[in-house]
Structure 1
Amino acid sequence: MDKGDAPVRRWEDLDSNILVKILQSFDLFQLTYAIPQVCRAWQLACSDPLLWKTLDLSVLQSNFIRISIEPYVFVDTPSREKLTRLLQICMNLSRGNIETLIFHYNLYVDKNQLTYTANRCPRLKRLVMPAWEKLEKPAICRAIRKWKDLESLTMPSLEKPAYVIKKIARSCKKFSELKIMGTCDILLHLH
């Protein structure tokens, strides 16, 4: 090495705090699919809790067709598989640190995906739900039971919302905010 040559520094030697600051500027798909593949150090940085306070899936929609019989929606297989794979990657990288989870209204989550997410997000405080046409009452109730720290829920309009509200009252002692997208005739259904 000549006197003027500086030592070569590798990207994986970058201080992890600086790397996490840089990673905060990447979008969800870069953070989950590309960055962890660079090297072990970057994969570890992608699991930093600072990156996973919020999981915003509002950019992801399902390809679906509305049908007249239950579950009232047919979601194509590639959409369902893409969501399952993305949830698996995000849940692994987040290591249970997600506090805010935002779904796009037209992202159809099935009961297995909801259960998996509920099991892997025990610290969830805020949830923006997608349309619930594909979800059955027991799946919704099981998920809410897992989210003991839930404080805020934005949910679609439901024909009979009382079961959700009762489950929240029993399971989520810190709950303080309910937002319903659309109409809600709650007084007729609470009795």
Structure 2
Amino acid sequence: MEKGDSPVRRWEDLDINILVTILLSFDLFQLIYAIPLVCRAWRLACCDPLLWKMLDLSVLQSNFIRLPMKPYVYVDSASQEKLTGLINICLNLSRGNIQTLIFHPNLYVNDNQLTFAAERCPQLKRLVMPSWNKIKKRTMCRAIHIWKDLESLTMPSINNPARVIEEIGRSCQKFSELKVMGPVISCLHLHWLYFFQTWKF
């Protein structure tokens, strides 16, 4: 090395805290599809908890066709496979650190996808569900049982919310906010209707 030459610095040798700060400016797709492939050090940086406090999938929505009869909505299997793959990558990189999970109102999420998210996001505090009600109540209750730290839930309208609310009462001691997208139809008395739609403590 000649006098005055500076040593060659490699990108993978960049301080991880500096790298994580830089990665905060990238969008979700760059963060999961491009950056982890650069090198081992960059993939490790992509798993930093600072990048995964929130997983915002509100940029994604399903291509669907409305039907006049059950299931009322048709979503092609290819888009479901892509969504499953994306969720898997995100949840693997996040290493259980996601505290806020937001779905687009028109994103079709099935029971298996929600179950996987529940198992891989045990620290979840806030969940915004899609607007259509396609997830079974028992799947929702199992997920809520895992989310002991859940504080806020935005969910679609369901015919009988009592079972879900009972599970929240049993499992989520820090729960403070429930938002329901649409009317709440149940066997409960009418004066409870307003309570369930604007439940705040």
Alignment-derived partner of residue 152 in structure 2: 152
| TM-score (structure 1 length as normaliser) | 0.93
Kindly provide the amino acid, as one letter, of the partner of residue 82 in structure 1: K
Q: Which moves more between the two structures, 142-151 or 63-72?
A: 63-72
Alignment-derived partner of residue 10 in structure 1: 10
Alignment-derived partner of residue 102 in structure 2: 102
1:53-132 to structure 2, matched below 5 A, reads 53-132=53-132
Percent identity over the alignment is: 71
Residue segments in structure 2 that go unaligned for 5+ positions in a row: 193-201
Q: 2: distance between equivalents of 1:136 and 1:185? A: 16
Higher RCO (Cα < 8 Å, 6 or more apart): 1
| TM-score (structure 2 length as normaliser) | 0.89
8 Å CA contact retained: 1:72, 1:134: no
Shift of 1:72: 2.5
1:26-41 to structure 2, matched below 5 A, reads 26-41=26-41
Shift of 1:188: 3.7
Residue segments in structure 1 that go unaligned for 5+ positions in a row: none
Q: 1: distance between equivalents of 2:65 and 2:189? A: 31
Alignment-derived partner of residue 165 in structure 2: 165
8 Å CA contact retained: 1:126, 1:153: yes
> How large is the RMSD of aligned CA atoms in angstroms?
1.6
8 Å CA contact retained: 2:65, 2:73: yes
How many residue pairs end up in the alignment? 190
Shift of 1:185: 4.7
Superposed CA offset, 1:49-86 (max 9, x none): 00001000000101112223333322112220111011
Runs of 4 or more consecutive aligned structure 1 residues displaced over 6 Å after TM superposition? none
2:102 partner SS: strand
8 Å CA contact retained: 1:108, 1:130: yes
2:133 partner SS: coil
Kindly provide the amino acid, as one letter, of the partner of residue 33 in structure 2: Y
Superposed CA offset, 1:81-121 (max 9, x none): 11101111011100000000000011111011011111100
